Every structure is written in structure tokens, then in C-alpha cells.
Amino acid sequence: MRTTTSRTVQLLTVLGLLATGCGAGGAGAGGPGADNSEPAPHTRPRALKVAKAWDGSPAAEIWREGYYPMAEPVQPPEGAFHNEADKEAYISENFVLRGDLPETPEKDAKVTWQDGDSLTLPLMSAWEAYEKLDNNGSPAPSLTVTGAKLSETTLATSRGPATVPVWLFTLKGYDTPLKQVALTPSKPPKPPIGAVGQVSADLWELNKLVEVAADGRSVTVLAHHGACDDGPVVDVLETDGSVVLSGRMVGTSDGVCTLQLLAKKVTVKLDRPLGDRILLDAFTGRPVRGTD
């Protein structure tokens, strides 16, 4: 999930208010690796509303039946990158094609989960996949694609690890390929609850999901915070059907602070594996995603 422009403006508005004098933050344990299994009193009511809205809802059923990646669809070559220019080209999505791309052998492909469930979706052509990579076209440093072939890879999804088709793009100067998942995610369901009306120091929108531990017993997210605090804390509320995360900041102090919107990794431990429970953001009322 990427923060929308309007949401960013809201967050900067809060930071603007804080810049003239930061109030006392919420109490409680926090920071990377913290076990925040008991939500703070001021985040718990909203988390309960989000969980109640999603648990057993048609939206939850749609979510559990769909294909929703929880990791980036593009994976760089092993050991990338050789230099800062190549890294800049990758980040800025600046590629050039110097070779032929193959025809797509099939129209459809399957996502297959570890429990044997599968879902058939339209297969992205090599050209479509390349166009998702190359979104710049400037004279700045670029990476050169010389060819591609269809293969498979394992990708984290909302239903656990899955085998998905992937285009392997050969890059000039690299021994291993760049991977681009060859499927478009399912259309997400309409959330059964809306976002909160306004951001505050007590509840912030999460940036995105970074990782779900292999055993499912912890999740790592990027959480927003400002420049005049001790960083973000993520409270967690667990139910049988969902795990609701509430981002907030702690350790604020009085005084002038710079107007900055920052993000920091926070790892939250769970009482039991995430499994097929839906990971939700208390602020937005939507699932936490690792990608758009």
C-alpha cells in the first residue's frame, strides 16, 4: 500500500501542528521488535470496530478467495546492483530494450498455493511486463533489457506463499535475471468500513507491509512518524478472523520541530500465526498490502 497524495497532505498537516509544540505521546512499549500484543486504550476502540466490520463479512470472503500479493512483484538480480547508476535506474524505473521479447505462450496461468488451492488468471505478456518496468524514458542512467523468458517463482500472498508465473528479464552486465510477476492482482473488495476522518498523533496510516515471518508469528511494517518523536509504535488486536494494526507515535516533546514525514520498520509479534486471517490497518479500515 502506498500512501495517497491526499493522505500525505493530511499527515503533513498533523506534523505542521506538531511543529509549533509537540504534546506528550501515548504511553506503552514500542519500537522495532516490540511485543505490542495489548493495544493502547486510545487505539483499541477503533481496532475493535475494524475487526467487527471485517470478520465474517462478504469482503473478507472475497479477500480470502483472491490473489493479493504481499510482496513487490519485481525482484532485482541477485547481488544487485553493480553501481549507484544501476541502482538509480532501477529505483527510477528507467529501462531500455535492446533485444526481442517472446510471444506469450498461453492466455491464462495459475496461482497455486501450498495447500493445493489454485486460481486461474490472465497471463501478462512479456511486453506488458516490460512496460510495467519501464516508466521513465529519460536520458538518465538506465538498465538494458536484452531478452526474457517465462518461468515460475514463489511469492508471499494474503493466503500464504504461492507459486506464480514470472518473466525473467535478462539485463546487460548481470548474470542473473530480473523477475517480474506475470499476473495482475485480483480486484480488492469494497471495505466494509471507511477510514477515520482525520489523522492525529494517536492514530496514523501505515505505509506498507514489509514482511510476514516464515512461521507467521510476526509481521513487519513501515509505520509513519514525525521528526520530533521517538518513532512509531504499532499496536495489534487479534481476532479469529483478522489482525488489526494501529500505527501511532510515542515520545514526543515540547519545542519546535521540523516538518518531516518519516517511516520506520516496526516488527510486531503475534500470539499465534497469521494464517489466513486478514491483516488490517486500523486507520484506513483496509488490508495492509506490500504492493499496489
92 with 172, same domain? yes
Domain boundary among 123, 158, 181: 181
- 49-105 tens-digit pLDDT: 999 999 999 999 999 999 999 888 999 999 889 999 999 999 999 999 999 999 987
Q: Which residue has the higher pLDDT, 34 or 127?
A: 127
Out of 158, 181, 204, a domain closes at 181
**Three cell numbers, residue 237:** 488486536
Same domain? For 52 and 196 the reply is yes
Same domain, residue pair 82 and 111: yes
Confidence of residue 250 (pLDDT cuts 50, 70, 90): confident
The reply to whether 149 and 98 lie within a common domain is: yes
Residues 153 and 231 both lie in one domain: no
Residues 29 and 88 in one domain: no
Q: What is the pLDDT of residue 24?
A: 29
Count of domains observed in the chain? 2
The answer to which of 164-178, 195-209, 268-282 has the lowest mean pLDDT is 195-209
Q: Is residue 89 part of a domain?
A: yes
Name 278's bridge partners.
242
* Cβ atoms within 10 Å of 291's Cβ, excluding its own: 17
Phi, psi of 221 (to 5 degrees): -130, 160
Between these two residues, 118 and 79, which has the higher pLDDT value?
118
Per-residue pLDDT at 108 exceeds 90: yes
Whole-number percent of the chain with pLDDT over 90: 57
Most confident of 72-81, 119-128, 203-212: 119-128
- Which of 181, 212, 235 is at the close of a domain? 181
Residues 159 and 21 in one domain: no
C-alpha span between 27 and 45 (Å, rounded): 16
Question: Phi then psi for 38, rounded to 5 degrees?
Answer: -110, 110
pLDDT of residue 36: 41
Residue 262 and residue 167 share a domain: no
- Provide the residue range defining the domain that includes 229: 5-65+190-287
Q: Compare 19 and 256 and report the one with higher pLDDT.
A: 256
Q: Is residue 258 in some structural domain?
A: yes
Q: What is the DSSP string of 109-162?
A: EEEEETTS-EEEEEPPPHHHHHHHH-----SS--EEEEEEEEEEEEEEETTEEE
Task: Indicate whether 270 pLDDT > 50.
Answer: yes
pLDDT for position 29: 34
Query: Can you tell me the distance from the alpha carbon of 99 to that of 146, in angstroms, rounded to the nearest whole number?
Result: 5
**Is there a single domain that holds both residue 200 and residue 149?**
no
Cell 504511553 locates to 27
Residue 201 has pLDDT above 70, yes or no: no
The percentage of residues in the chain with a pLDDT greater than 70, rounded to a whole number, is 80
Indicate whether 243 and 270 sit together in one domain. Answer: yes
Per-residue confidence (pLDDT) for residue 27, from 0 to 100: 30
In a domain, 131, yes or no: yes
209 is a domain residue: yes
Residue 32 in any domain: the answer is yes
Query: For residue 249, is it within any domain?
Result: yes
The pLDDT of residue 256 is 65
Dist CA 78 CA 153 (whole Å): 14
Q: Are residues 212 and 123 in the same domain?
A: no
Average pLDDT over residues 10-32: 37
54-68, 171-185, 219-233: which range is least confident on average?
Answer: 219-233
pTM for the structure as a whole = 0.77
- CA 23 remoteness from chain centre: 30
CA distance 148 to 168: 5
Do 219 and 156 reside in the same domain of the chain?
A: no
Q: Which helix (H) or strand (E) holds 60?
A: helix 58-65
Is the residue at 292 inside a domain? Answer: no
Q: Note whether residue 204 is domain-resident.
A: yes
pLDDT at 10 over 60: no
CA dihedral 161, 211, 276, 292 (to 10 degrees): -90
